[in-house]
Structure 1
């Protein structure tokens, strides 16, 4: 591998660790399937318990070992990039993964092996036909077709999940979000001290509104979660629009010196200053969505921690101030009580969660408009955006020169 090729590969690994796989040039169906091969090996061997008298957990362990072996063989344990498959090979790999196991099952059934145990780490579907049972041919064919169809559908769902995770870097993004959450938790006193006074004034009086208690008494947890998800979506869209404007500004003010500064601490740190012909590289729609999504998640993690603090404070207010008789009067209907906390109305927990979600959204939006909050909480995301765009510009130009 040439020096420039190795440098490009290391930069692509940096993109993957940042949760930005879409910034890799040529990152399409073929490359996604190539990176999915360890996952495909793992999920294919989850079906071992159908053909051998072993525990599903043992099958999962064997699958994990096989996935590690496939990854080590393909990449020499991280010392080279995954191979680039052709479209035909990628399609054949996915088809074999989905069709070979049920084909083996059908063959075993035709040969007389009629004890079926289809399970996935806990038994999503189980069908057992004993050899001494009085089943007609039609009954047997119905069972075989049911198991086979279920099998193919489950396998297709596994492939779809793996493809979404791999193509969008969700695993790396989750690790990144956890690291940010750990940092925010270590700074939680300072964060809550800045955020809670603002969001509490916007939500505290709503907590003592009887109409909201009545609504939360009737709403189920699923609808409360849906409303909180809507709050998160609205806040993410607001952050995305603002970051999109910042991206346009950064591309307009693009300079080679800024690119060299952005590449510090990345594999391109030493090479960026010697790359000629640097120019802003417009991001494709999928790339822009990937970048904005990663940065919006950073804001969501911080908002979730603020929301958790607000939820705890509202619960303290509820336990201290809202007596059961007051809750009964506000709700003015049969009260649903918590099983984990006997005597406490579920409406209090639901309303606290709803207002915590609203408070977190309010905090995210204020972080983009208030000058102090912007410098404290939103500016780091803009700096990260500038860094990503600079590294992407240097990487793209180096790749063109390497060709």
Structure 2
């Protein structure tokens, strides 16, 4: 007979490991999990979404091809096919008949692709082959999308980053105030430049979108450079005392080894784990820089509404008159004057906001004091996650023989 105490201890450790791994996932760092795999970790988390897709596609059987009792027969056939395929796959995997998969392998992928094709074929009113192939292709695209989103924890990552946004407002405003003199000189020159308004007037929205994408791409490049610097050596800890301080409010706080234990020696971050860490930092920094751009854009829209009069706008843009079709003009009488909102104002303000965000990103990368203040909260959060990883590998991951 096995040792009940040993079995209970193993079960408790498995539960602790599962809880710790869920903690990694909720913070958008699933690749910190040991032996993170597509079949056991990624697609199993995507299984409820994929099951929902199949359920929605089941209603493809209600097409115009069948009427009356024939439609009822097709409905029953569709139900039988779905139940039979699910039961067959679970029998092949030696699971309960209606259990969601604990591993997602070839059989599950084939079943997922086939069911959508079968339902589309049963309800097709045109070409059965074309509709079935389209449904299978759509399912394949959704499978790839679900894999990417789930594998990298994009939804938890964005949720975490948005949750940090309000905490970052004060920090960003402080840093923005430090760079405000330069930003004001730079942006005021652009705002009061007639040529800029002429360019904005001549811009079509698609061309302005291309320019905006170019500026965003340059800013993203600077953020990537900053992220690579921040991610260096963050997974290393000199003592368990440092780890313990960072794990105080985490699920594994009680598992941190004592100070006289051998020094932390968790394995180096693999390529995917390093990318996951860098991606989290990239998303968080991008949100902060985007906040700066939005603040500056909003300021100049408001400033322009109060300062740019119709006669000035006509002179700057060389237009003879302003119309809603060309300029989205909205005017509001106020205090014997008129507030004017226009397309040109939005484009000029957005252009200044994008350049301000780009300049802010450059400052963060090149100025060490900006970088330390700007990234302090993010690096603390990340160091906490990597401290948890150190304890996780020491106490919860079985040693390989």
- For this structure pair, what is the TM-score category when the shorter chain's length is used for normalisation? 0.7 to 0.9
| CA radius of gyration, larger in | 2
| Match of residue 61 from structure 1 | none
Structure 1 CA distance, aligned partners of 2:315 and 2:229?
A: 49
The secondary structure found in structure 1 opposite 2:347 is helix
Distance 1:277 1:184, change over 3 A: closer
The secondary structure found in structure 2 opposite 1:270 is helix
Q: What is the Cα deviation at residue 166 of structure 1?
A: 0.5
After superposition, give the CA deviation of every residue in 1:16-73 in whole Å (9 maximum; x if it has no partner): 11011111122222121111111111111112332359xxxxxxxxxxxxxxxx9xxx
Which residue, out of 43, 56, 68, partners 1:33?
43
Q: What is the Cα deviation at residue 160 of structure 1?
A: 2.0
| Match of residue 6 from structure 2 | none
Instruction: After the TM superposition, list the runs of 4 or more consecutive aligned residues in structure 1 that deviate by more than 6 angstroms.
Output: 186-189, 333-336
Does residue 283 (structure 1) correspond to residue 269 (structure 2)? The answer is: yes
| Match of residue 176 from structure 1 | 160
Q: What is the Cα deviation at residue 172 of structure 1?
A: 0.6
Does residue 309 (structure 1) correspond to residue 271 (structure 2)? The answer is: no
| Match of residue 156 from structure 1 | 140
| Match of residue 60 from structure 2 | 50
Structure 2 CA distance, aligned partners of 1:156 and 1:320?
A: 53
The secondary structure found in structure 2 opposite 1:282 is coil
What value does the CA root-mean-square deviation take over the aligned residues? 3.2
Structure 1 residues without counterparts, runs of 5 or longer: 54-69, 71-81, 110-115, 117-128, 130-139
After superposition, give the CA deviation of every residue in 1:358-399 in whole Å (9 maximum; x if it has no partner): 212322333455465445422222223322322222222334
Structure 1 CA distance, aligned partners of 2:136 and 2:202?
A: 40
Distance 1:284 1:200, change over 3 A: farther
Structure 2 CA distance, aligned partners of 1:4 and 1:230?
A: 50
Tell whether the 8 Å contact from 1:254 to 1:280 is kept in structure 2 after alignment.
no
| Match of residue 251 from structure 2 | 267
Does residue 330 (structure 1) correspond to residue 316 (structure 2)? The answer is: yes
TM-score, normalization: structure 1? 0.73
Which residue, out of 92, 96, 111, partners 2:111?
96
| Match of residue 6 from structure 1 | 15
After superposition, give the CA deviation of every residue in 1:103-143 in whole Å (9 maximum; x if it has no partner): 2343x36xxxxxx5xxxxxxxxxxxx5xxxxxxxxxx43xx
Which residue, out of 131, 136, 147, partners 1:147?
131
Q: What is the Cα deviation at residue 194 of structure 1?
A: 5.3
Distance 1:324 1:166, change over 3 A: same
Tell whether the 8 Å contact from 1:195 to 1:306 is kept in structure 2 after alignment.
no
After superposition, give the CA deviation of every residue in 1:181-224 in whole Å (9 maximum; x if it has no partner): 23345888767655655533332211233333333334333443
